[in-house]
Structure 1
């Protein structure tokens, strides 16, 4: 009897250590902000900056200098109404990022000039009779549409969420913004379908584009209070690449198979990201496109960012993705742990040498992703290695793709 009881206790312990899909109860927060930051997060951000301590003091000075430029008459809003999704991406992410940063500056200072400019940018983008992203030429960047729409519009979702927290968006603008996001939802789903219909463009079954699609749909669902859309994005039998599928498929466990076209068969290690094959030059996946070599760390970082943004959104809406673990062991903490060493040592040749030659992505490149660990350390504060990444780099010197000044929004003391 005692032995049987022990077995039951062990069984229950194993079951409770992993959060299953059934435990991910989606409950969209009724109030704004609810996308990335909560009211408590905003309060802590203001408190950190007011303290005058580092890294927040110097980061705020630099951030404010950048944001103030958006208030200048020389900085122009640049709405794109054309049918080239690559141009849409560049112009949208520029203005959306400005709107996000202005909304953050408003919450830090409570100076409405920042909020008013943020709203002005947003309203300019939804002013055309035919909303941007209503149509894209399928002959241009055919595989990229969903990813580009999802990523470029996300900072607008972030800005909108922050502005709505203080009821700074008119009902007319709310309605029009919702109409625009529904159009973006259609484009993202259409883009995702292109991948499925084309056998994931030469069997790229798990890849950063797919993570962007799920992230974008999840964000739109949260902002528009659409539980069904969030469910579809996170965990749905109708979506073969929902967030849970992507955590399991994107994150590698030692010995799992990488992308089949990697020309040199080096073993996979726990925590690597499937996008590691971007280390190689590979063509033929779509027409005459050839991937640029030595970008494995860049794209593994990008996919990690997109997965973490999904986890950030879940945090305020009843979905604990940070502690969710697939049956085969994949979880978001693993790539943070694996890739941290590259940003600490500044040596791309470590851990078997797969990424040898990619030192620029961990040293001087403007797309270096070390600020991921600002978010990572805030969610896993017991991970000393994550703090070591921050100590080994100049905190606050780089914004994080889509999330912006994460040293201000997420940063914690490392000692």
Structure 2
């Protein structure tokens, strides 16, 4: 591993400005994606391809919600409220800006602009996170990378003053990130943590800021300047380990005889039990951000995705080394160094979408995406959008969960205390977690590390891995934690372990929220399930949570939705309903979605003889459960003719005059005996010419609508322009 900033990057010079675009700012909005990526995403969405269709539905639904949702803002000195507010605000801005790029609906762009301008305006003179100067670079980068992405995506909808305000805001944050990087350097990287993930994060933040602001000097400093002892090239060469590389002097390999380094491991591997893999994946996440931003700034080379250090270090190595942990959901692989740890959740899958687009021939990276649900939500990053722009369509989808309807459930209410909620007969707390049943929920207080609730005897309930495929939890989270997991034991393998764990994401500081965790994808969720353990929060040792319901479900249909209504929405009286173009999906309790054929639908509510708007109901039955959806049509009375009841006021013209339809009134007659009066704005006219010889002309008036068409005519008289007595007098 080289200690300096040696480079084998193909393109050494940083181009100055971005390529010319049609945007008013003159800058590109690429940052993490290109216009071609968005074009490809639109095509997949239009063709209802999975998993893009589902990822888009989730993104679009959240964007629609964000149009009217209150936007949080906190720019004070405390770290937790800043992160909480920024995560929500940037997530709204991301989904709104992304939806604008997909749909072209400027309402999304304007809402995203309002969020950016709120934060930009209020940031003047603010000093967010100042109480934690050592972590401020991390926190600001987590917020800024998505704010920057949203900014680039709506660039064409912004005015000069708005861009100036946002640029000023981002420059102030980039200065604070750079100060934090210098602080780490001046303090010997806090106990010689020379290549820790926070340093990688700060470099990612500066890269993203430099690309967003089109600041070649800042980009150069972040990527490879010799004046920066922790530029991106140095970090790739030192944070990504080879088998003969040095580790932190307190790494368990050196202090307790833990397994030696393997090719592709990350320097951050030394964090204590429960944090090793999560911190290594943080560094991978930050390498992803920096490399993707640098790639779209260069436009002329693969950039840092293909960079190789002096001894062969590259970003592909950790993605391939850590792939097995996700595929097998087993922390014992890879030599055993992480055996007491846990596998990261959805955000890791998102990073593999980026990696797969840059390393299309890597079988290890492909295996991750083929083993997991690709519609994974990255709460602090790209949401569902990375799949939409970077997801490859030559990757097989993971097997869908099986069907079913039955459930085993527990409802936490005061009345249930005497019927099973005891340490011996039902669920109980562990590791300093205390609970109280009140107000219809089990209110839990966290007072130590690794808080758990467990059920040690599920055999009487008859829980089978092949049947009960989804765990449903309704919980409130009054902490800032976003990570939780479910562990289980079967009759064949009763002990809890990291290789029988399924992580899931929590909403921080949230009221009661439903979580659906797919257990069927786990290779060891099979046979008779004996025990369940819920690690309700993973990263806090003080706080409050509450659980109102836990259920083990088989798949049951929840809702029916019309993805695309029929091509026809208007009919003439007496015409039969035409379902051509209708696309309907059934949503299931395990989060899956199935296209429903027309032959499996019952259609009611349409009467071809009743005029006006009608609501057509579709009913789908799966087992004993019925679900419905609707669309609207309109039945019209056919047009039987029109009559000019009043010709235009002026019917006499001289050559060269324009036709004036003022005063024209037309009656439209329908087959049901009704009629309506219309003016010149609802008809087309033909037959008039102002250059013809003097004399009469017949002007045709034509009316067209979905109910049919008809025509009538009137006469005008033309005289020669100029001269004396008109010819028509």
TM-score class, shorter-chain normalisation, is: 0.7 to 0.9
Alpha-carbon distance in 1 for matches of 2:124, 2:36: 38
Contact kept? 2:71, 2:115, Cα under 8 Å: yes
Q: Deviations over 1:301-338 (max 9, x none)?
A: 11101101111112122261111100011101000110
Corresponding position of 2:28 = 32
1:221 aligns with 2:215: no
Deviation at 1:172, TM superposition (A): 0.9
Q: Deviations over 1:325-383 (max 9, x none)?
A: 00011101000110011111111111211111323x34xx4x55122111111111111
Contact kept? 1:49, 1:56, Cα under 8 Å: yes
Q: How does 1:6-405 map to 2 (within 5 A)?
A: 20-21=8-9, 23-27=11-15, 28-30=17-19, 31-72=27-68, 75-128=69-122, 130-133=124-127, 136-137=129-130, 140-164=131-155, 167-263=156-252, 264-265=256-257, 266-278=259-271, 280=272, 293-318=273-298, 320-359=303-342, 361-362=343-344, 365=345, 368-399=347-378, 401-404=380-383, 405=385
Query: Counterpart of 1:412 in 2: which secondary structure?
Result: coil
Query: Counterpart of 2:289 in 1: which secondary structure?
Result: helix
Q: Deviations over 1:131-174 (max 9, x none)?
A: 443x653xx2231011111221111100001111xx11121111
Query: Counterpart of 2:157 in 1: which secondary structure?
Result: coil
Unaligned residue ranges in structure 2 (runs of 5+):
1-5, 20-26, 397-729
Alpha-carbon distance in 2 for matches of 1:400, 1:340: 21
How many residues matched? 374
Structure possessing the higher radius of gyration over alpha carbons: 2
Structure 1 residues 129 and 399: alpha-carbon distance in aligned structure 2, compared to 1, 3 A threshold: closer
Alpha-carbon distance in 2 for matches of 1:188, 1:109: 35
Query: Counterpart of 2:134 in 1: which secondary structure?
Result: helix
Query: Counterpart of 2:222 in 1: which secondary structure?
Result: helix
Alpha-carbon distance in 1 for matches of 2:377, 2:139: 22
Deviation at 1:130, TM superposition (A): 3.0
Q: RMSD in angstroms over aligned alpha carbons?
A: 1.9
Alpha-carbon distance in 2 for matches of 1:86, 1:191: 18
Higher relative contact order (CA 8 A, sep 6+): 1
Alpha-carbon distance in 2 for matches of 1:207, 1:402: 20
Alpha-carbon distance in 2 for matches of 1:154, 1:295: 23
Q: Which moved more, 1:308-317 or 1:244-253?
A: 308-317
Alpha-carbon distance in 2 for matches of 1:131, 1:174: 18
Structure 1 residues 100 and 132: alpha-carbon distance in aligned structure 2, compared to 1, 3 A threshold: farther
Contact kept? 1:93, 1:155, Cα under 8 Å: no
Alpha-carbon distance in 2 for matches of 1:250, 1:66: 36
Alpha-carbon distance in 2 for matches of 1:317, 1:153: 17
Alpha-carbon distance in 2 for matches of 1:143, 1:339: 28
Alpha-carbon distance in 2 for matches of 1:49, 1:333: 29
Larger proportion of helix: 1
Alpha-carbon distance in 1 for matches of 2:108, 2:43: 19
Alpha-carbon distance in 2 for matches of 1:255, 1:97: 41
Alpha-carbon distance in 1 for matches of 2:70, 2:276: 35
Alpha-carbon distance in 2 for matches of 1:136, 1:347: 36
Contact kept? 2:140, 2:173, Cα under 8 Å: yes
Contact kept? 2:374, 2:387, Cα under 8 Å: yes
Corresponding position of 1:409 = 389
Contact kept? 1:19, 1:323, Cα under 8 Å: no
Query: Counterpart of 2:306 in 1: which secondary structure?
Result: coil
Alpha-carbon distance in 1 for matches of 2:96, 2:13: 33
Structure 1 residues 169 and 253: alpha-carbon distance in aligned structure 2, compared to 1, 3 A threshold: same
Query: Counterpart of 1:376 in 2: which secondary structure?
Result: helix
With structure 2 as the length reference, what TM-score do the two structures score?
A: 0.50
Alpha-carbon distance in 2 for matches of 1:267, 1:393: 29
Q: Deviations over 1:272-303 (max 9, x none)?
A: 0111111x2xxxxxxxxxxxx31111111111
Query: Counterpart of 2:36 in 1: which secondary structure?
Result: helix
Larger proportion of strand: 2
Deviation at 1:197, TM superposition (A): 1.1
Alpha-carbon distance in 2 for matches of 1:273, 1:44: 33
Contact kept? 1:143, 1:195, Cα under 8 Å: yes
